[in-house]
């Protein structure tokens, strides 16, 4: 890797490698038009005909009457039977990766007490099944026996994004597998409360929250019963909005705030099923602990698969009190919301823990409720009451993340307007915390209203660079002075580090007459602080992260963005293309790289697949093993300095793109690693600040030489 690589690449490759800096479950992602696609698919998908049953509805009557394997007579007068219903929407998680089949293997290996418990799977929604002899053109009901899963009934493929399909399955279980305790597990992709759950690959459809509510009303509600728990082995579903839908129909919800890794839940928890009905909070603790324990086990053996993990058990019987307390707090906050305190509110919202943005290609607007109340609440009595009420409904939770308290809420920020409007529409039709919804509407009204900051340009602001050695690296404190008005309306900021391509020896004037104008993007970060004097600070260590393999250290640094700010480590993203030359298989991916005390030279945590197709948006559970590929290509975008009509710099990603990209390749079959090294010539690097005001307008500074 010692030799520099210069390539003239087609436009689509240039676009592929551009870091997505300000965007943010099991996930395949499409970066644009997400909600429009979902609306299109949802409106285009038809519903199957239904047939009335004595409880709820069926699509069609079962082909045969299943014979439960439980010997009910042996249980005596007190029934202790449990039925766990698993709605398994295979999607690409099965057709491409076989994850559903693997989880069914786990269920079989758990050693379930099938003499007292029914575990019933309804499997469909995948174009093909990697294992288990299932047909992609069918949906199959399977019963777990002591010898493994046995098929009970098979139907032509039904739309698993249709609420009637879910209610039909549940009514089937209620009618043919009676029990004292019922639970429901929903398996697949998840996209949070706005997008919903379950991506049927054959019908290109999913279940929105109103459809999930409809399915539960037509099954659990029709039977006038209540489930012990409803679980989501899916991403981003632990939210108050989801809880509001489930509360009438279950005692507990088990779900993740964050995206889940590809392996999902650890189904060894089924081994605890016995001859007694296990309460939902107790089962929730088993599920959470087994999930976290298995994750840590995987990370110990495969550090490159490290993922952020969250899982919570929510007491749905305590949900109403939490919603009421939250509603009271936001009524108070909305009353005080005006253009004077709005900027402070925006600054605090920008600091709240977001979920899904670091591990996917989309900003879902999902924030931790407790962290939000802590930052927005100003220690008020109503905020404290809301915190206590929310904490009371979190029966059990665990995480390896900062500021992940157990349950989220949708508070879109820096999302497109379609997604923001969809969030409000979702909350309105659910009747969720109306004062919170009204607060969001008023918040966005100010955001889109009259301009609050007349002079937001920072191109002429005073800047400075002070460099000191911290014992290892020369660390620069790069500063930019804001005006009092800019300070008052500051929301968030960040910086880019660019490299002068000609001075660093990457290009010559003979190769490109405009070489003097050419810069490479090296790093972007939102790690900035604003002091009480209105000075914006960026602390840059004058180093870069490189790749090293058997051929040596790359001449060009890794291209990094840092949008997920942590107090204990630097969390970077880097876009790469993975390749196998034997079959010319390629995969665009996003590497998660962290630098911390344990890994001062950095470590690749995992690789997340990226997709450019138009599938329904969801968050990707599937991770990539770099060992499955032979080669990794990294490219840096080269652009010419570009200014607007007033002579101010545009965003680097709006600069005129040159025909050049600088890059290198890494041999993934060798002993490769990341290394952090000081910049040899910091005088060839510049910093550009960007500042976002409270209404989302962005301005850019002039280039600031590091030396």
Residue 87: which region, alpha, beta or left (left: phi > 0; alpha: psi -120 to 50)?
beta
Residues 6+ apart with CB under 8 A from 29: 360, 361, 362, 610, 611, 617, 618, 619, 620
- Percent helix / strand / coil, the chain, rounded to 5: 30, 30, 40
pLDDT recorded at residue 68: 54
- Identify the structural domains of the chain with CATH numbers, from first to last: 5-26+475-705 (no CATH), 81-320 (3.40.50), 322-396+407-447 (no CATH)
Are 594 and 602 within 8 A, CB to CB? Answer: yes
Residues 6+ apart with CB under 8 A from 159: 45, 46, 47, 48, 165, 200, 202, 203, 205
- Give me the helices (H) in 189-231, please: 192-195, 209-216
For 146, other C-beta atoms within 10 Å of its C-beta total 11
CA–CA dist 228, 239 (Å, integer): 18
pLDDT recorded at residue 545: 95
Residue 483: which region, alpha, beta or left (left: phi > 0; alpha: psi -120 to 50)?
beta
Q: How much is the pTM?
A: 0.88
pLDDT recorded at residue 519: 96
H-helix or E-strand containing 540?
A: strand 535-540
- Average confidence (pLDDT) per 10 residues, the chain, 707 residues: 39 31 30 33 38 52 54 44 95 92 96 92 96 92 92 92 96 90 96 95 95 97 94 97 98 97 94 93 98 93 88 98 97 93 93 88 91 92 97 98 96 91 96 96 92 89 90 86 95 95 94 95 94 95 92 92 87 93 87 92 88 55 80 90 95 94 91 93 95 94 94
694 burial (CB, 10 Å; 0-12 / 13-18 / 19+) is buried
Tell me the per-residue pLDDT of 88-128, one tens digit each, with 9 for 90 and over: 999 999 998 899 999 999 999 999 999 899 999 999 999 99
pLDDT recorded at residue 80: 52
Q: Is the dihedral of CA 185, 191, 193, 199 positive or negative?
A: negative
Are 182 and 85 within 8 A, CB to CB? Answer: yes
Q: Is the dihedral of CA 412, 413, 415, 417 positive or negative?
A: positive
pLDDT recorded at residue 527: 93
């Amino acid at each position: 890797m010692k030799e520099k690589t210069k390539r003239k690449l087609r436009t689509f490759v240039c676009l592929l490698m551009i870091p997505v800096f300000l965007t943010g479950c099991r996930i395949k992602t499409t970066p644009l038009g997400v909600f429009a696609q979902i609306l299109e698919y949802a409106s285009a998908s038809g519903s199957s005909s239904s047939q009335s049953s004595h409880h709820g509805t069926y699509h069609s009557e079962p082909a045969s009457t299943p014979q439960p394997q439980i010997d009910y007579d042996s249980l005596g007068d007190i029934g202790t039977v449990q039925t766990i219903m698993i709605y398994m929407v295979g999607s690409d998680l099965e057709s491409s990766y076989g994850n559903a089949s693997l989880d069914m293997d786990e269920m079989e290996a758990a050693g379930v007490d099938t003499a007292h418990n029914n575990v019933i799977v309804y499997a469909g929604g995948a174009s093909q099944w990697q294992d288990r002899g299932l047909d992609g053109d069918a949906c199959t009901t399977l019963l777990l026996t002591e010898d493994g899963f046995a098929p009970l009934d098979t139907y032509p493929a039904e739309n698993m994004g249709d609420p009637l399909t879910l209610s039909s399955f549940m009514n089937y279980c209620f009618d043919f597998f009676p029990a004292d305790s019922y639970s429901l597990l929903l398996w697949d992709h998840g996209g949070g409360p706005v997008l919903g759950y379950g991506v049927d690959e054959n019908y290109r459809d999913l279940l929105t929250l109103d459809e999930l509510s409809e399915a539960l009303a037509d099954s659990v509600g029709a039977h006038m019963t209540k489930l012990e728990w409803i679980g989501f082995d899916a991403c981003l579903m632990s939210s108050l909005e989801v809880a509001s839908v489930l509360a009438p129909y279950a005692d507990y919800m088990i779900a993740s705030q964050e995206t889940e890794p590809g392996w999902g839940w650890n189904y060894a928890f089924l081994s605890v099923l016995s001859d007694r009905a296990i309460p939902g909070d107790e089962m929730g603790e088993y599920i959470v602990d087994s999930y976290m324990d298995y994750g840590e086990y995987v990370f110990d053996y495969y550090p490159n698969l490290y993922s952020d993990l969250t899982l919570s058990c929510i007491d749905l019987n305590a949900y109403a009190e939490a919603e009421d307390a939250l509603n009271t707090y936001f009524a108070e906050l909305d009353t005080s919301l005006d253009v004077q305190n709005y900027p402070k509110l925006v600054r605090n919202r920008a600091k709240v823990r977001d979920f899904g943005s670091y591990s996917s290609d989309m900003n879902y607007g999902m924030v931790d409720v407790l962290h939000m109340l802590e930052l927005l609440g100003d220690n008020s009595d109503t905020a404290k009451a809301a915190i206590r009420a929310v904490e009371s409904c979190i029966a059990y939770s665990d995480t390896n993340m900062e500021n992940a308290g157990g349950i989220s809420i949708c508070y879109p920020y820096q999302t497109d307007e379609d997604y923001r409007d969809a969030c409000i529409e979702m909350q309105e039709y659910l009747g969720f915390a109306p004062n919170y919804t009204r607060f969001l509407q008023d918040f966005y009204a100010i955001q889109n209203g009259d301009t609050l900051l007349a002079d937001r340009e920072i191109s002429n602001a005073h800047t400075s660079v002070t460099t000191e050695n911290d014992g290892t690296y020369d660390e620069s404190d790069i500063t930019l002075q804001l005006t009092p008005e800019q300070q008052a309306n500051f929301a968030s900021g960040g910086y880019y580090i660019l490299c002068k391509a000609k001075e660093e020896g990457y290009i010559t004037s003979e190769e490109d007459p405009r070489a003097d104008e050419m810069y490479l993007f090296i790093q972007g970060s939102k790690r900035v602080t604003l002091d009480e004097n209105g000075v914006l600070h960026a602390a840059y260590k004058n180093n870069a992260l490189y790749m090293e393999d058997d051929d040596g250290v790359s001449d060009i640094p890794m291209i990094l963005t840092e949008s997920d700010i942590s107090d204990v480590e630097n969390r970077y993203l880097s876009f790469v293309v993975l390749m196998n030359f034997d079959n010319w298989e390629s995969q665009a991916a996003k590497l998660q790289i962290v630098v911390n005390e344990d890994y001062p030279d950095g470590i690749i945590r995992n690789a997340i697949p990226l997709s450019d197709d138009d599938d329904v948006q969801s968050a990707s559970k599937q991770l990539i093993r770099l060992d499955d590929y032979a080669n990794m290509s990294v490219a840096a975008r080269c652009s010419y300095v570009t200014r607007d009509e007033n002579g101010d710099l545009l965003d680097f990603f709006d600069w005129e793109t040159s025909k050049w990209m600088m890059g290198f390749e890494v041999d993934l079959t060798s002993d490769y690693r990341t290394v952090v090294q000081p910049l040899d010539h910091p005088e060839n690097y510049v910093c550009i600040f960007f500042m976002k005001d409270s209404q989302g307008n962005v301005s850019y500074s002039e280039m600031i030489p590091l030396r």
